[in-house]
Amino acid sequence: MADSNNLFQLAVTLLQQLISIPSFSKEEDRTADLINELLQQQGVTTHRKLNNIWAWNKHYDAAKPTILLNSHHDTVKPNSGYTRDPYDAKIEDGKLFGLGSNDAGGCLVSLIAVFLYFHDKENLKYNFCLATTAEEEISGVNGLELIIPDLGKLDFGIVGEPTLMQLAIAERGLMVLDCVAHGRAGHAAREEGDNAIYKALTDIEWFRNFRFPNESEVFGPIKMSVTIINAGSQHNVVPASCTFTVDVRVTDAYRNEEVLEIIRQHVSCDVNPRSIRLKPSSIPREHPIVQAGIALGRTTYGSPTTSDQSLLDIPSIKVGPGDSARSHTADEFVYVDEIREGIELYIKMLESIN
């Protein structure tokens, strides 16, 4: 089924069907069923683990490199500002409305269409691995991360997120740090105790002002923001502890583990990361897939937001139809023409490196 117009129609119809089925994170079983059935109807051999569906091209050759095509089918819950039925996927004035239409339904169905375009072709220079995954919106452990061991060797990836089909060649990682400064309780009226707030202030000032030596060509410096602080029980007691939370947006100049080690060397408080899973990612501007996009008039940029790209240890590019400014908004929509353009641009980019 290589005709691009047929693939476009299939993609739009599939997106409307997906929107009609609630698929909140961890509740994606019915959309997984739909994707699985659609692929099998198109002659694709599918694999499933929980709510993740993946497949390889028909003429897979283990001797060839493999390109990952990935996007997610879970959504956030509709916010209170909706004036439309979030699950009614109507098309009006060229806009396809509905929850998840933009993030990341348009990307998902476009990549499925692209996979089907290449699925039956022989003598490709690359294999293709399609992974339609769950729990992206909550950075869950039962989404892409769960099936990466099942996907085999991957050489680079395209992660479908709404970027107006511009090329996000780097993505910030994220660490959330829970910090505890320790003092000693005492009566505030006497020279007693060791005030944990004052100890925390020294470390907070360091987080505010420290500049990591290595800086990203795309993002510049790592950004650290203290966002929550809590201490004390009553006005006349010197607090024995002060807790605070730091949001750390790691760039591709460091690994999360390296940043954590540097922080611990400089502060006196206990530093406990909630997770180091959400890694920064990047792909060289010289990479063939990036150059293919640039040749088609696409621009490159660094994405400040996290996605499943953070779970990959391979070069990857984030690109897809739709606009991230529409993600999670009331009356979410994607332009139908964005899906058509997305399919065509994905194919042109991939054919130019095949």
Residue 112 has pLDDT above 70, yes or no: yes
Which candidate, 326, 291, 13, 331, places its Cα nearest to that of 161?
326
Question: Quick check: 343 pLDDT over 60?
Answer: yes
Cα separation, 202 vs 316, whole angstroms: 39
3 contact partners, CB below 8 Å, separation of at least 6: none
Q: HSE-up of 199 (CA within 13 Å, CB side)?
A: 21
What would the mean pLDDT of 237-241 be, rounded to a whole number?
96
Helices 336-352, 106-119: axis angle to 10 degrees equals: 40
Q: pLDDT tens, 8-56?
A: 999 999 999 999 999 999 999 999 999 999 999 999 999 999 999 999 9
Q: What is the pLDDT of residues 203-238, one digit of tens each?
A: 999 999 999 999 999 999 999 999 999 999 999 999
Tens of pLDDT, residues 154-206: 999 999 999 999 999 999 999 999 999 999 999 888 878 999 999 999 999 99
Checking if the pLDDT of 3 tops 80, the result is: no
Residue with tokens 């020279």: 191
How far is residue 190's CA from residue 77's CA, in Å, rounded to a whole number? 53
Report how far residue 45's alpha carbon sits from residue 28's, in angstroms, rounded to the nearest whole number: 20
**pLDDT at site 2:** 59
Tens-digit pLDDT profile for residues 258-317: 999 999 999 999 999 999 999 999 999 999 999 999 999 999 999 988 899 999 999 999
Rounded to whole angstroms, the Cα distance separating 257 from 339 reads 38
CB-based contacts of 171, cutoff 8 Å, min separation 6: 280, 281, 282, 302, 303, 305, 306, 307, 309, 310, 318
Q: What domains does the chain contain, in order, with CATH numbers? A: 4-171+280-353 (3.40.630.10), 173-273 (3.30.70.360)
**Does the pLDDT of residue 1 top 60, yes or no?**
no
* DSSP code at position 208: H
For residue 340, the Cα-to-chain-centroid distance in whole angstroms is 23
